[in-house]
Amino acid sequence: MILTRIDVRGRPPQDLAGILPRPGAPGRDVRDQVAAIIERVRAGGDRALLELGEELDGVALDRLAVPATEVAAALGRIPVALRGALETAHANIEAYHAFEPPPPGDYERDGVRVRHLVRPVRRAGCYAPGGRARYPSTVLMCAVPARVAGVEEVVLCVPPDRSGRVDDATLAAAAIAGVDEVYALGGAQAIAAMAYGTESVAPVDVIVGPGNLYVAEAKRQVSGAVGVAAAFAGPSEVVVVAGPRTPARYAAIDLAVQAEHGPDGLAWLLTWSEDQADAVCEELTRIVAASPRRTDLEATLGAGGFVCLVDDVAQAIAVSNVVAPEHLELLFDGAEALLGDVRAAGAVFCGPYAPASLGDYVAGPNHVLPTNRTARFASALRTDDFRRHMHAVSVERGALELLGPSVEILAATEGLPAHAASIELRRTQPVAAGEVR
């Protein structure tokens, strides 16, 4: 049995949170180590980054920045089919993020006009995992919405391989997405470098991108010194809801899809059919045994793999809302009719032909999603994560007569006489139109 079996049949919704296993506090086990890394980077700059790269990754580098010529040359070194796939993904991701609704128009009431101003951050830092695998798709998912948002400078940190190089597929994705700077730099030290700056890496305004526990904890610790998207984008998660007629091979492969990212992730199967639970587990056992990533699959499924028997599809959705997964797959016909009941998920995939892997690459919406139950309050990465919203207020002379007395009363109530005086002064000593220049 690869998956731990849980049976919640007959249990009321209010009991589910107490029955279902909870993930541990994210970053708890690495908090002190991450804090030490961040402090070393803040104090030592590039020297500390190079030392940490050798100590933690076994890579001795003499420079951190990947030359722009090397990034551009990668486009010619990758297979033509891979370049075409990256360009297809780029086009779909760009189209979706450009579709995100613009801010509403100006607001006017009682002589007060409020304009909604949107300004992109000047410099965004993107992190793409590396080492265990390469993720050119994550480069696109992070850099494209930054570009769509109008960010002036986009930089990328990605761990190098043992030879000190960043692989060509990742560099090609950076070239296609228009990344300005690439650094062969990973882990908590990459997050610290982007947050505080070093001799080689100028600090950024926002950091985005998924990573392991060290990366996620580092983002948590530097939040406030730099903007960090609300989601805890850590190890991968999926909840697969399979009905009695869902092909067991579909459900099993989709559990393996997220589990093959490596340890610390979660893979849940929810079903109201014992026969389906057995069939999916049998199929998953076969997939794991034949996979070249067998070790990663066994580690993830052994610690974070569950099959949960429920009464019906309604209870399956209730369980999923407690788990609040990064990916939720509803692998049955008519799934869209249940979307109104889904309260917490990073992304939902509806029907047997909508695997999460499509969302990972070419569907268009972002695959940087909230994990560790942060989908209760956080969202997918979007263009707004790279923007600031301001409001500009314009006031007609007559609006002071209408609204000013309320300001004066409230200011007096709060013991702030200058607030009240700023209104009274303008009401009693107005200036002529056009006099103030």
The catalytic residues are: 326-327
CA–CA dist 222, 229 (Å, integer): 12
User: Helix/strand/coil (H, E, C) string of the chain?
Assistant: CCCEEEECCCCCHHHHHHHCCCCCCCCHHHHHHHHHHHHHHHHHHHHHHHHHHHHHHCCCCCCCEECHHHHHHHHHHCCHHHHHHHHHHHHHHHHHHHHCCCCCCCEEECCEEEEEEEEECCEEEEECCCCCCCCHHHHHHHHHHHHHHCCCEEEEEECCCCCCCCCHHHHHHHHHHCCCEEEECCHHHHHHHHHHCCCCCCCCCEEECCCCHHHHHHHHHHECCEEECCCCCCCCEEEEEECCCCCHHHHHHHHHHHHCCCCCCEEEEEECCHHHHHHHHHHHHHHHHHCCCHHHHHHHHHHHEEEEECCCHHHHHHHHHHHCCCEEEEECCCHHHHHHHCCCCCEEEECCCCCHHHHHHCCCCCCCCCCCCHHHCCCCCCHHHHEEEEEEEEECHHHHHHHHHHHHHHHHHCCCHHHHHHHHHHHHCCCCCCCCC
Lookup result for tokens 């609006």: 399
Cβ-in-10-Å burial (0-12, 13-18, 19+) of 232 comes to: buried
Task: Please list, residue by residue across 309-330, b when 16 or more beta carbons sit within 10 angstroms of its beta carbon and e when fewer do.
Answer: bbeebebbbbbbbbbbbbbbbb
Q: Which amino acid is at 133?
A: A
Residue-level length of the chain: 437
By C-alpha distance, which of 365, 378, 324 is closest to 137?
Answer: 365
Cβ-in-10-Å burial (0-12, 13-18, 19+) of 165 comes to: middle
